Structure 1
Amino acid sequence: MKNNIKTATIISYITLIAGNVISIVYTPIMLTTLGRGEYGLFTLVNTIISYIYLLDMGLGNAVIRYNSKYMAENNEQGLKKINGMFLVLYCIIAVLGIIIGILIYFNLGNIFSNGLNITEIQQIKLMFIVALVNLAFAFPLNVFSGIIMANERFIFTKVLALIRAVLNPIIMVSVLALGQRALGMLIASTIFNILLGIANIIYCFKTLKIKMKFLGFDEGILAEIFRYSFFIFLSAIAYRIYWSTDQFILGMFVGAAPIAIYSIGSQFNGYFISFSNVISNMFLPKLTKLATEENKKELMSILVKISRIQFFIASFILIGFILVGKQFILIWAGEGYELSYYIAILLMVPQIFSIIQSLFATMLEAMSKHRVKALIYLGVAIFNLVLSLFLVQILGSIGCALGTAIGMTINSLLNNWYYKFKLNLDMAYYWKNIINLAWPATLCLVLGYMLIRFINPINYIGILLFAIIFSIAYLLIFWILALNKYEKSLIKSVFMKFKSKLN
């Protein structure tokens, strides 16, 4: 099992890197072929569908939890009943999703009459139908992916994720090369997703030998499941408000092209989050144990240790993007996307606080205190929505990004207030250790600006040359001025492993 987890983790990292690199290569092709308007509509359809997907209500986590529970108890009858119940539940949710989708379909013209023209509304309606079919299949298929995770068949799951990350963009580019556009991409994506879902079904019945019984609903278990899922559901709603509503608002008030511009900026924020959080998973088991034991002194020690590493990685990415992100976007996406750079900066700067404190969420779950965080998240997300609705009419795309940035900042402040005054964590000690890293990061930013004036990176080769020199300078400055013995030993171990691989 240890090798299973280790191999799955390696595959996860490969998937993350491959997925992001392929996305960086694939997005300009899609932008060039579709144009800003159609790419914006494509993004808008996916945004609307993501809201309907909230009907999942956290049941995906419940499938894993209750399958694991009954397997641990060797309760085969319970497994058959619970999986049958989950499949029926998801089929009901799929039907409900289709009904809601049909209602939305007939009102798309009214919703987006101020931002989209008649031709764009007709396009979005066609794409929405295909995306709705994809969603209807996705709900019941969730049961089978959850069962596989509960059985700890991580390698199969991660290999499938890697296949999705690599093949999906290749299929999309092939569709565009054949002369199809956004509608063709959605049809191909739907077929591909269904095929992957069928692979999960075959694996469950042929390899895992699962069985299902459809004997109605156990009201007690159903109530327990929904109690467990409720706060996960609240967090999911808040997440969607934060990261999907801005595109929806732009479609209502501004138009299709600004959605594309905003989406590019938001995409770079997504890269920032994914690369910055790669290291977190290695510390999850120890953090959970410390939180459960309520050893707050040692808990704070490990939180500081992890947060400093997160800051080291996140500030490197953020500063690098601040320095050459605009040039990269202009080369990568083309003229007319300058605003995407400023949108990305507005989203990324406050995001760094969430990144360095990413394991606090795990701590709260271990302490059974995650409800308060979910409520804070949802409350601030609603404030962000109202603020963005106001600012978009004054500042357009930048207004949406600014509203989200203000919301994220308030969310971080409220969470830190909760950590200090309700959980009695020593946040002064925590921030003192983090702030010690801020001035070397500022020095790197200043030196980076000087380096840009010398190199003047206006093409991919210039940006690559800057990245190499800046990376070396960044590591040297932090090594001399900021890193402690533990952090230096981590970097040394990475280099030693890399060296041994080369030999």
Structure 2
Amino acid sequence: MKMPIIKNTVTNYIRSAVLLFEGVLVARWIIAFLGKESYGLWTLLWSLFAYALLLEFGCGVAAQKYTANGLYRQDPGRYSRMISTIFTFHCLIAVLLGLITYACSFFLGSITRITDPEKLLYAKNCFYAFGLSAVLLFPLGIFQEILVGLQKIYWRNFIVIACKLLELAGMLLIFRIYDDLLPVVVYTMALAVLSYLVMGACVMYLLPTLRLRLQLDWEIMKEIAGFSGFVYLSMIGRLILNKSSRLLISIFCGLESVGIFQLSSKAADLCMQGVSQYQENISPITGALHQRGRHLMLGRIIIGAMRWNSFAACALMLPAGLLIDPIMMVLFEVSDPFINYLSRLFLFSMYLSAVLRNIPHSYFIMSERHRFASWIIMVEALANLILNIVLLWLGAKVDIVIWNSLLIKIGLCVVVIIPYLLKCLRISLAGFLLQVLVQPMLAGLPVLLYILLLQRYTAWTGWTMLLVGGGGSLIIYLAGMVCLLPKAVVHKYRRKIAKLLQLP
């Protein structure tokens, strides 16, 4: 079975870099050409419509799973009915989303605190443009999930990259002609719809037997709901995990503490972007191999993926933790020891997620163990929520909130998640520890020594320490990684990368 893992992963990194670059430029351009008020409206609209994803109810992951399982080959008619049912359900949700948009427009003045009638009308027009695009994009989103299920992630990435580059070029032209946010919104949303339509055309090309119709099969809907309902439960759990801490800190400690908490998480978030691009391959691979009964191969791939994530996490997060002082100074002009201490805690928490949580979660979801995966996330979310309320009510500070989350995560990984994963994959604990934890940590020891020597014998700070320390650490870690990995693995990936880059 051919799996374009390298191509998918490399294009994921390129897509992330383009999105980061585009986000920075768009923010700077809107502020420079239209002012901070327009930028505030822009970010608010994006934030509001991001919550529309909660109306997806996990059906997109269901489409990805049925595609990865190869149902389009085994039973094209049933596959078409399933995809048509999901598409039709999303069309109905899109109509509901349009009605919600219209209803919310009457409260836009309260949300934005705009009192000027002319400005409020302008904000409503932008809001309607966002709402209309959300209505169109919602059902079309199924196509990118199908591409992921087909392991054509790189197709999706090429489309997104082209769209974002066109978006930047068009926005710059609009800013030169118009002194107005509305044309920017319309152009951006039109490009987004176009990109989804192109993905749809790609799906129809790859799956000529797919017959997409507006039809709702209730028997199939019940079957889909048995899977997507638990995926949706996972989404709610992740929302509680990611958002509740900030809200509770705001209630008990004030906005300044929320700012400290948010700032402290930035370095870990950036590192996670560098680590997580490989993970998207796991879901379609798991679905395909599990359906075919190739459990031994799947076990090797899951452990290999966790080992890769562990190497990548160590390569980025170990130097980041040791160099957090210059990182925070260079990126955010912050030199607060307490914020740096919190940043290290966040880095360790993200390391645990990258190494022990994310890959197993994808495996559980796509191997008919979605109930287990969903309940684990809900238990973690509720434990965090309840204990944070109690601790903050008793007078705990921000660091205790992070420690609480960290200890709950460690407990669940050690006691529940990893033992169950090893049982499912039939892999020994010793082999798991050696490949996933010991080898990446051994590769990190020279990095630890290198940075400690730099800090001991130089007075470098800021960019100098960041470039010399970070760049040197990456080279040293890669060398250690090559020495520790099996030679066959090194040669295999070297051949794949050379083929991808068309090198001799």
Q: Give TM-score, length-normalised by structure 2.
A: 0.73
- Distance in 2 between the 1:98 and 1:141 partners? 15
| Residue 142 (str. 1) matches residue 141 (str. 2) | yes
Tell me, yes or no, if the aligned pair for 2:159 and 2:195 is still in contact at 8 Å: yes
- Distance in 2 between the 1:419 and 1:395 partners? 32
Q: Output the amino acid matched with 1:52.
A: A
Q: What RMSD in Å do the two structures reach over aligned CA positions? A: 5.1
Describe how 1:402-441 pairs up with structure 2 within 5 A. Answer: 403=401, 406-407=404-405, 409-419=407-417, 425=423, 427=429, 430-431=432-433, 434-435=437-438, 437-438=440-441, 441=444
Tell me, yes or no, if the aligned pair for 2:286 and 2:363 is still in contact at 8 Å: no
Shift in Å, 1:180: 5.9
For structure 1, the 5+ residue unaligned runs are none
Residue 132 (structure 1) aligns with:
131
Tell me, yes or no, if the aligned pair for 1:90 and 1:140 is still in contact at 8 Å: yes
- Distance in 2 between the 1:496 and 1:70 partners? 32
- Distance in 2 between the 1:303 and 1:152 partners? 16
CA distance 1:345–1:32, change in 2 (3 Å): farther
**What secondary structure sits across from 1:368 in the alignment?**
coil
Q: Percent identity?
A: 17
Residue 368 (structure 1) aligns with:
368
- Distance in 1 between the 2:438 and 2:55 partners? 41
- Distance in 2 between the 1:38 and 1:161 partners? 25
CA distance 1:471–1:65, change in 2 (3 Å): closer
Tell me, yes or no, if the aligned pair for 1:85 and 1:217 is still in contact at 8 Å: yes
CA distance 1:22–1:93, change in 2 (3 Å): closer
| Residue 464 (str. 1) matches residue 464 (str. 2) | no
- Distance in 2 between the 1:446 and 1:354 partners? 25
- Distance in 1 between the 2:459 and 2:21 partners? 23
What are the superposed Cα offsets for residues 184-209 of structure 1, whole Å, 9 maximum, x if unpaired?
Answer: 65544322212212334455668866
Shift in Å, 1:93: 0.9
Tell me, yes or no, if the aligned pair for 1:40 and 1:257 is still in contact at 8 Å: no
Q: Output the amino acid matched with 1:451.
A: L
CA distance 1:22–1:54, change in 2 (3 Å): closer
- Distance in 2 between the 1:388 and 1:45 partners? 30
Q: Output the amino acid matched with 2:140.
A: L
Residue 240 (structure 1) aligns with:
239
Residue 326 (structure 2) aligns with:
327
What are the superposed Cα offsets for residues 401-443 of structure 1, whole Å, 9 maximum, x if unpaired?
Answer: 8646633541342243124665674547644662575476366
CA distance 1:144–1:315, change in 2 (3 Å): closer
Tell me, yes or no, if the aligned pair for 2:62 and 2:228 is still in contact at 8 Å: yes
Shift in Å, 1:450: 3.4
Residue 96 (structure 2) aligns with:
96
Pick from 8, 11, 14 the counterpart of residue 14 of structure 1: 11
Describe how 1:199-218 pairs up with structure 2 within 5 A. Answer: 199-203=198-202, 211-214=211-214, 216-218=215-217
Q: Output the amino acid matched with 1:218.
A: D
Q: Output the amino acid matched with 1:350.
A: S
Residue 220 (structure 1) aligns with:
219
Describe how 1:93-492 pairs up with structure 2 within 5 A. Answer: 93-101=93-101, 129-146=128-145, 156-168=155-167, 186-203=185-202, 211-214=211-214, 216-244=215-243, 268-279=267-278, 285=285, 306-332=305-331, 344-357=343-356, 358-365=358-365, 368-385=368-385, 399=398, 403=401, 406-407=404-405, 409-419=407-417, 425=423, 427=429, 430-431=432-433, 434-435=437-438, 437-438=440-441, 441=444, 444-445=447-448, 447-452=450-455, 454=458, 456-459=460-463, 463-475=466-478, 484=484, 486=486, 490-491=489-490
Count of paired positions:
486
Shift in Å, 1:377: 0.4
Q: Give TM-score, length-normalised by structure 1.
A: 0.73
**What secondary structure sits across from 1:157 in the alignment?**
helix
Shift in Å, 1:222: 1.4
Residue 55 (structure 2) aligns with:
55
Tell me, yes or no, if the aligned pair for 2:9 and 2:278 is still in contact at 8 Å: no
